[in-house]
Amino acid sequence: MFRNSYWLVPNQKAQKNVFEKMRKDKKYPQKIGKYDVKYVRDLTTGYDNEQAGNKPILPISTSSEMITFTLPDGSWITVRASGTEPKIKYYIELKSAPCKSEK
């Protein structure tokens, strides 16, 4: 299942505060709701605890905010700041077991 949407953010300072809280002292959230977080990739700071040396494979950009949280089952959530609008966008992909087909 895939879902994406956004939150309107009134100003740049509020937007910056959201991302600062997610990476406070490089202690990223351990849970999102009731779900454990297994890996975090922060392409703003150049952190990815799934990769050797905690360095992301993807290019980093200190001028744009983007953090991806991966859950133990491979589901993921990416949160990023829009570059052109006062929005924080999110993208979610949830994984589940295949459905049994009916006979």
- Domains located in the chain, CATH noted: 2-93 (3.30.310.50)
DSSP-derived secondary structure letter, 49: T
pTM, two decimal places: 0.88
**Beta carbons within 8 Å of 44's beta carbon, 6+ residues apart:** 19, 60, 61, 62, 64, 65, 66, 67
**Tokens linked to 18:** 């959201």
Read off the pLDDT of residues 37-92 as tens digits, 9 standing for 90 and up: 999 999 999 999 999 999 999 999 999 999 999 999 999 999 999 988 899 999 99
CA distance 13 to 10: 9
CA distance 21 to 28: 8
DSSP-derived secondary structure letter, 52: G
Q: What does 32-65 look like in DSSP terms, one character per residue?
A: ETTEEP-EEEETTTTEETTSGGG--SSPP-TTS-
Read off the pLDDT of residues 2-51 as tens digits, 9 standing for 90 and up: 899 999 998 889 999 999 999 988 789 999 999 999 999 999 999 999 99
